[in-house]
Amino acid sequence: MAKVFDCITKELQEFIAAQHLFFVASAPLSPDGHVNMSPKGLDCFRIISPHQVAYLDLTGSGNETSAHLQENGRITLMFCAFAEPPSILRLYGKGKTILPNSSEWDSLYCVFPQIPGTRQIIVADIERVQTSCGFAVPLYEYRGQRQILVDWAEKKGEQGIREYQKQKNVVSIDGLATPLSKLP
């Protein structure tokens, strides 16, 4: 029951806005490389246009998506309804990483909440928009966002975050450099 759309329609934009969680998938070109899928929350997703989206990427234990985008650009974002009515939405596209020192940073960063530990912005130009039924996705009740990552970032401070990123976020688990590796 999949349906393909030319763009992110108004109805699909409303569906996205109602979700508290989305998933990001990317992969290296190497057949031996690891496919990565990450859950995202904390009000960090924005629709820039019917063909472009962005999300605020927060400092974490890895930086796989950014490394994969630098290598090949492929990205898939998935939203699924955990309440009624059931639905799954996938956005397929080509992405890039925007770092805080980029000329594009200010015009994008202003549309997001300022969240401690912000690492970069991921922008994706959407080439395919597809929905499917979601009939087998279980029902879950939303209770709220976790505050743990924000608290951790506030405790580390800006300098501590930069040091953590240099230690943990400049190379992927497959040895691919991330855009952060180019920063001083």
How do residues 133-169 score in pLDDT, each as one tens digit? 999 999 999 999 999 999 999 999 999 999 999 999 9
Q: 90-111 pLDDT, tens per residue?
A: 999 999 999 999 999 999 999 9
Q: Give the SS3 label for residue 122.
A: strand
pTM over the 0.95 mark: yes
- Please say whether the beta carbons of 103 and 49 come within 8 A: no
CA distance 128 to 150: 33
Question: What is the domain partition of the chain in residue ranges?
Answer: 3-179
Beta bridge partners of 125: 52, 94
| Tally of residues, the chain | 184
Query: Does the domain spanning 3-179 belong to CATH 2.30.110.10?
Result: yes
